[in-house]
Amino acid sequence: MNDIDLTSILTHASTSSRGVAKPYLPESPVFASALLTTLPATFGTGNIGRLGVNVVANRLLAAGAEPRYLSATVTIDLDTPQEIIREVALGMRDAAVEAEMEWTTVERAILPVGPANGVSISIFGVGCRMVNVTSRFDCVHPGDALIITGPVGTTGAAVAGDRHGIKLPTQSDGSVLTDVMRSVYVHAPDVPAVYFPFQGLNPALKLLGINAEIDRKKIPCDEAVREACETMGLDPLDLAGADAMLLAVSDKDAERVLEAARRYRAGSSAAIVGRVRDVRETGFQED
């Protein structure tokens, strides 16, 4: 696939070709990025192209921003099959359309000794701020409810499944959560904290310094993912996933936020999964 092919696959899906008005950026735009270098180009039913766009879009949403623009650098090993390159490019294109984002620049590099997994992607996104939220959980209090808006562990389970010869039928490269978070911000604009736990729920809680009482039975998780993790001896809460946001809300607002998240398909499995016990002041410092 030459440079024109790769670029045209993405830029032909720009917002202008879909009749969407060109977005306006305020003086204080919001930025997010994703660097995918260790994941295989394809895994389960997904690929890193779609995953990368979903991660960037969801990180913007977690920061209280409407996703707007994308740019990417795609590095390809010379021996990577053309069908895999095309699948990754189409994944990037389709995810951007779903996220209502527009491609601005796309760079490609083919190397004789390229990424070990065939393709690596660096994606940068820009958004417009909708509300002021925090991902630091500084304003979380003991007793606050923790809400997960969608299934956990799908990406990590699919990657591990491929290594063990287990093919998971579930969507494994994430979902863009624009509709879910728009609804949450409209119905609960003062939600105390929002976090996109791409690396997994347990790692996110540890990183954020949250000591929580979690009801595992209430955590959304696809049955195929649960069964595969049992077979492989893995915990879905430790695995990467790009299908959910982690919200901390006051107990009195929890049901209202939950109802808002469930208005859309991507948030249909949202659930209150536990309560905050306490929060370490230095949650972002490593142990």
Task: Please return the burial class of 124, using the count of CB atoms within 10 Å of its CB with bins 0-12, 13-18 and 19+.
Answer: middle
> Is pTM, for the whole model, over 0.85?
yes
21 pLDDT higher than 70: no
Summarize the confidence of residues 271-284 as an average pLDDT. Answer: 79
**76 pLDDT more than 70:** yes
pLDDT of residue 202: 95
Average per-residue pLDDT for the chain? 88
Where are the strands (E) in 48-163, listed by range?
65-77, 102-111, 119-129, 145-148
| Cβ burial, residue 154 (10 Å; 0-12/13-18/19+) | buried
pLDDT in tens, 91-104: 999 999 999 999 98
Residue 17's pLDDT is 45
Tell me how far apart the alpha carbons of residues 274 and 143 are, in angstroms, rounded to a whole number: 9
Q: What tens digit of pLDDT does each residue of 168-227 get?
A: 999 999 999 999 999 999 888 778 789 999 999 999 999 888 899 999 999 999 999 999
pLDDT confidence of residue 126: 95
Range scoring the smallest mean pLDDT among 38-42, 60-64, 208-212: 208-212
